[in-house]
Amino acid sequence: MNPKPRLLSLDVFRGLTVALMLLVNHPGDWGHSYPALAHADWNGCTLADLVFPFFLFIVGVSVAYALAKARATAPGAALPGVLRRAAVLAALGLFASTWLDFEWATLRLPGVLMRIALVYGLAGPLFLYSTWRGQVLALLALLLGYAALMQLVPVPGVGPANLGAATNLGAWLDRTVLGEAHLWKESRTWDPEGLLGTLPALGSTVLGLLAGQWLRHLGHKPGHKALVLWAAGIVLVLAGLLWSPWFPLNKALWSPSYVLLTGGLAALLLGGLYWLCDVQGVRGWQGVRGWAWPWQALGVNALAAFFGSSIVARSLNRAHIGGLSAKDFLYQRGIAPWFADPYLASLAGATACLGIWLVILLALHRRGWVWKA
């Protein structure tokens, strides 16, 4: 039996997001990242702040494709597989965060893969047991309910509801449930992937669920699907901007305005790629081996790229050569001397990391090797 063809635009979208992730997460010098490739200090949204919500949106689209048959036939039979995959993702996240540096007393429990695991584990059952109308209601409940909790509920031991980094309700909940020692080591008083923020993060994935179901709809022409995605993206972006004066764009809080803005941008980008790759069939001058193929290679092995780059980075930071970490040694001796501008040098270091992983994943893609949780 021939495998069902993949949605090329989704793979390319995921691959572009992986590429941006590598540029953001692995600069040559953390002190000299261009502002667009650095996360906003608190309120605001930079190019770097698009990576995580784009991944969660992509998770939603993928769930809509992967579980569509199960939802129509036997949703209960698919549920154990969803929960198993969520558990594997959570375990991988803990493994990556403790690689070469395990200490139970200060083990950070939240994290990127942990949040993806939680969101996937919630989005799967939501898709299996609800219609798109139920998902729209769930989205509204998540965003409005989260805003109400954060902006109306007093914070125990602190005072009135507020959106401060260490004094908001989510930070209090993380300290109470997880303990300060198990939070983000840069603060220990709050965590950007905390428990309460998982609610609006699920909203980002629900937007992906809705987009995926729209793309799978058989009653509309492909070109019309792309147009509706663009229209929905514009509406979401405007809604996010309109909400932002009351609840500012904020990645660490995963504010509702941030969900809508980034979800809208994701819909616009996916709609464009869908029209280009899947509707028009413009896949480069040599078919799929043209411009789309490298991004597809990154996209189909996104987990390998994230997990592998995290393990390698931690290993290079732990190893030392001549008093420097191996990572700093390679950067300061092999890349930085070629550039007068430290920001350009740092970008060159990030680009070198991207290039190395692109070569690795292209080789894996040629051999049909895909790592799935």
pLDDT digits (tens, 9 = 90+) for 160-200: 999 999 999 999 999 999 998 888 888 778 899 999 999 99
Res. 286: pLDDT tops 50: no
| pLDDT of residue 362 exceeding 70 | yes
**Residues sharing a CB contact under 8 Å with residue 121, sequence separation 6 or more, in sequence order:** 82, 83, 86, 87
Over range 152-162, report the average pLDDT. Answer: 96
Whether 43 maps to a domain, the answer reads no
The mean of the pLDDT values for the chain is: 92
Q: Does residue 220 surpass a pLDDT of 90?
A: no
211 domain residue, yes or no:
yes
Which among 264, 282, 300 is the end of a domain? 282
Does 244 fall in a domain? yes
- Domain hosting residue 362, numbered range: 1-38+287-373
The closest alpha carbon to 277, from 233, 222, 209, 207, belongs to 222
Q: Which residues, including other chains, have CB under 8 Å from residue 21's CB and lie 6 or more apart?
A: 51, 55, 305, 306
Do 85 and 126 belong to one domain? yes
Same domain, 204 and 293: no
Whether residue 314 is found in the same domain as residue 227: no
Co-location of 318 and 244 in the same domain: no
- Say yes or no to pLDDT of 212 above 90: yes
CA distance readout (Å), 289 to 283, 296, 335 = 8, 10, 30
Average pLDDT over residues 14-39: 95
**Residue 173 in domain:** yes
pLDDT tens sequence across 325-347: 999 999 999 999 999 999 999 99
Q: What pLDDT is stored for residue 108 in this prediction?
A: 87
Same-domain check for residues 247 and 359? no
Backbone torsion region of residue 157, taken as left when φ is above 0, otherwise alpha when ψ lies between -120 and 50, otherwise beta = left
Domain edge (last residue) among 237, 253, 282: 282
Give the pair of three-digit tokens for residue 295. Answer: 């991004």
Cα separation of 15 and 350, whole Å?
16
Q: Are residues 267 and 295 in the same domain?
A: no
Distance between CA atoms of 308 and 294, rounded to whole angstroms? 18
Predicted local confidence at residue 290, as pLDDT: 67
Pick the closest to residue 226 from 263, 279, 262 (CA basis). Answer: 279
In this prediction, residues 248-254 reach a mean pLDDT of 97
> Does one domain contain both 96 and 83?
yes
Mean pLDDT value across residues 224-232: 95
Query: How far is CA 226 from each of CA 53, 55, 68, 133, 340, rounded to the nearest angstrom?
Result: 20, 20, 20, 20, 44
Instruction: Kindly state the average pLDDT of the residues 33-37.
Output: 95
**Cβ burial 274-312 (10 Å sphere, 16+ → b, else e):** bbbbbbeeebeeeeeeebbbbbbbbbbbbbbbbbbbbeb
Co-location of 292 and 266 in the same domain: no
Classify residue 229: in a domain, yes or no: yes
Q: Specify the number of domains making up the chain.
A: 2
Same-domain pairing of 11 and 63: no
- Say yes or no: 34 and 61 in one domain: no
In this prediction, residue 293 carries a pLDDT of: 83
Domain identity same for 224 and 324: no
61 and 76 assigned to the same domain: yes
In-domain check, residue 230: yes
pLDDT surpassing 50 at residue 363:
yes
Q: Is residue 309 part of a domain?
A: yes
Task: Tell me: pLDDT of 259 over 80.
Answer: yes
